[in-house]
Amino acid sequence: GQNIDQPTEMTATEGAIVQINCTYQTSGFNGLFWYQQHAGEAPTFLSYNVLDGLEEKGRFSSFLSRSKGYSYLLLKELQMKDSASYLCAVNYNQGGKLIFGQGTELSVKP
């Protein structure tokens, strides 16, 4: 299969740093995306990785290791508005078909 695994829930404190991990099957890998989804809203694009290494975009960074089938999303200086579901999605060489992980529900506490 093409199982994409990420933790179901995480809790962190406002102002802190949190890392959300994602593992996936490497065969046919053609890129990994992170999306943020607030309850009742559409997913919004956060980052894209296709080569090994770290991509930084403001408070959010995403890392990829293709050989290990591993990615993480790093959120710095957490804000209450960062409470949301974070979805890891992989493109498996099928013309834009994304396979989504189950999502990680992040709760940011004061």
Partner 1 sequence: DTEVTQTPKHLVMGMTNKKSLKCEQHMGHRAMYWYKQKAKKPPELMFVYSYEKLSINESVPSRFSPECPNSSLLNLHLHALQPEDSALYLCASSQVRTGNYEQYFGPGTRLTVT
Which positions lie near partner 1, rule CB under 8 A? 30-31, 33, 41-45, 48, 50, 87, 89, 91, 94-98, 100-103, 105
Residue 3 or 13: which CB sits closer to partner 1? Answer: 3
The alpha-helical segments, DSSP class H, found in 1-110 are none
The Cβ of residue 69 has, within 10 Å, a number of other Cβ atoms equal to 18
State the nearest-atom distance from the C-beta of 58 to partner 1, in Å.
Answer: 17
Nearest approach, Cβ of residue 109 and partner 1 (Å): 20
Complex with partner 1: residue 17 or 50, whichever CB lies closer: 50
**In whole angstroms, how close is the CB of 91 to partner 1 at the nearest point?**
6
Assess contact for 62 and 51: CB atoms under 8 A.
no
Measured from the CB atom, the residue of 40 and 110 that comes closer to partner 1 is 40
71 with 86: CB under 8 angstroms? Answer: no
Helices vs. strands in the chain: H and E counts, helices first: 0, 11
Pick the closer one to partner 1 by CB: 58 or 110: 58
Q: What CA–CA distance (Å, rounded) separates 70 from 23?
A: 5
